Amino acid sequence: MRALVKTRPGPGLELIDVPEPVPGPMDVKIRVLRAGLCGTDLHLEGWDDWAASVVRTPLVVGHEFYGEVVEVGEDVTNISPGQRASGEGHIVCNTCRNCRAGRRHLCINTQGIGVNRDGAFADFVVLPATNVWVQPDDLDPDLGAVFDPLGNATHTALSFPMAGEDVVVTGAGPIGVMAVALARHVGARYIAVTDMSDYRLSLAKAAGADITINPASANLGVAMRDLGMKEGFDIGLEMSGAPSAVADMLDHMNHGGRVAMLGLPKDPFPINWGKVITHMITIKGIYGREMYDTWYAMSSMLSTSPRLREAVTSVITHRVPAENWQDAFAAARSGEVGKVIMDWS
């Protein structure tokens, strides 16, 4: 089969033929139809320090995907060939304290598809049946391929009650824009978004943001003034990993405000803990998706809201055949892009 492989340590990937994966007794084999390109994949292709520390080559990369079930293991009883599915990319141990308590998203032994084991930038991918999320037959394949990042956005956005609240999203990458769509769906009053890219701010505006701010020319105080807000933001969703964005957010949170942080910074950075303490701000770290409450929540919301489906799908700006994967990576690196989808059908 075709697969996009990190064949050796160092920058670059290769589209080569490799043997098809064989499912075990509790596994499912899926023919990949669409795959989403993630920032993680850019790190792996570029081979930065993080990639070098976690990856053993050779490795089939990629973890965001949608496809058709073609084979199930002999002990799998709840999934059938022909069904369409996405996949939870975190494989957990089921034996640590958190797993046994039902908190699988906090598993201390998590392995990532396309990072620690062969992934989904290929004609076929194999994963445990417990990680397969069966989709409706009529779901748009492109939308099915972004359930992983949509799950990140959903986990972050639903961390705190949001109905009627004033929300700020720092970072208008694909997950940040999806979070905007979710905040609008669940009933936020005002939604402000900050990002250094005017292109991405336009995507956030289309997804439901009331106001967008480029930090090169203004800060969130301008957003508050233009929205007529007399107090700070109630909910902060940090999607950028940028220290300056976090500082601006914390400076404009209401007393008792709550912040969910998904963006991963490159390096450690200081925080004004005096303000966090005296303003009684809650900060919560977010990683991945809750297994599987997040999946239920996003599937249910999408199934009942055409507007939300349209807003999430609008994040997809580039669709590229798998054989042109270099173009997909170049587009993603440009920054002037939303979500990039590769077609493996």
The pLDDT tens digits for 162-175 are 999 999 999 999 99
> Helix, strand, coil shares of the chain as percentages rounded to 5?
35, 25, 40
Looking at the predicted structure, is the pLDDT value of residue 7 above 90?
Answer: yes
Q: Which residues are 128's β-sheet partners?
A: 27
Looking at the predicted structure, is the pLDDT value of residue 75 above 90?
Answer: yes
pLDDT average, residue stretch 51-79:
96
CA distances to 4, 62, 298 from 329, in Å: 12, 12, 27
Query: What pLDDT is recorded for position 272?
Result: 95
Looking at the predicted structure, is the pLDDT value of residue 335 above 90?
Answer: no
Band of residue 256 on the pLDDT scale cut at 50, 70, 90:
very high
Least trusted range by pLDDT, from 26-30, 86-90, 191-195, 262-266 = 262-266
- CA dist 238 and 262 (Å) reads 6
Nearest to 12 by CA among 73, 58, 54: 58
- CA dist 11 and 48 (Å) reads 8
Sheet containing strand 191-194, strands side by side:
211-213, 191-194, 167-170, 233-238, 253-261, 282-285
- CA dist 33 and 273 (Å) reads 47
Give how far the C-alpha of residue 24 lies from the chain's centroid of Cα atoms, to the nearest Å.
28
Band of residue 181 on the pLDDT scale cut at 50, 70, 90:
very high
Looking at the predicted structure, is the pLDDT value of residue 329 above 90?
Answer: yes
Catalytic sites, residue numbers: 40, 43
Query: What pLDDT is recorded for position 266?
Result: 87
Angle, in degrees to the nearest 10, between helices 39-46 and 325-334: 110
17 burial (CB, 10 Å; 0-12 / 13-18 / 19+) is exposed
* Whether the Cβ atoms of residue 94 and residue 316 lie closer than 8 Å to each other: no
Nearest to 90 by CA among 60, 117, 50, 61: 117
169 burial (CB, 10 Å; 0-12 / 13-18 / 19+) is buried
Looking at the predicted structure, is the pLDDT value of residue 304 above 90?
Answer: yes
- CA dist 186 and 270 (Å) reads 32
Give how far the C-alpha of residue 218 lies from the chain's centroid of Cα atoms, to the nearest Å.
27
Q: Which residues are 191's β-sheet partners?
A: 167
Query: What pLDDT is recorded for position 170?
Result: 98
* Whether the Cβ atoms of residue 327 and residue 190 lie closer than 8 Å to each other: no
Architecture of domain 154-285: 3-Layer(aba) Sandwich (3.40)
pLDDT average, residue stretch 262-290:
95
Q: Per the structure block, which two tokens stand in for 125?
A: 């991918």
pLDDT average, residue stretch 1-9:
97
The pLDDT tens digits for 113-135 are 999 999 999 999 999 999 999 99
- CA dist 267 and 345 (Å) reads 39
Looking at the predicted structure, is the pLDDT value of residue 109 above 90?
Answer: yes
Q: What percent of the chain has pLDDT over 90?
A: 99
Query: What pLDDT is recorded for position 63?
Result: 97
CATH number assigned to the domain with residue range 2-146+315-343, chosen from the 4 options 1.10.150.570, 3.90.180.10, 1.10.3720.10, 1.20.140.90: 3.90.180.10
Domain boundaries, the chain: 2-146+315-343, 154-285
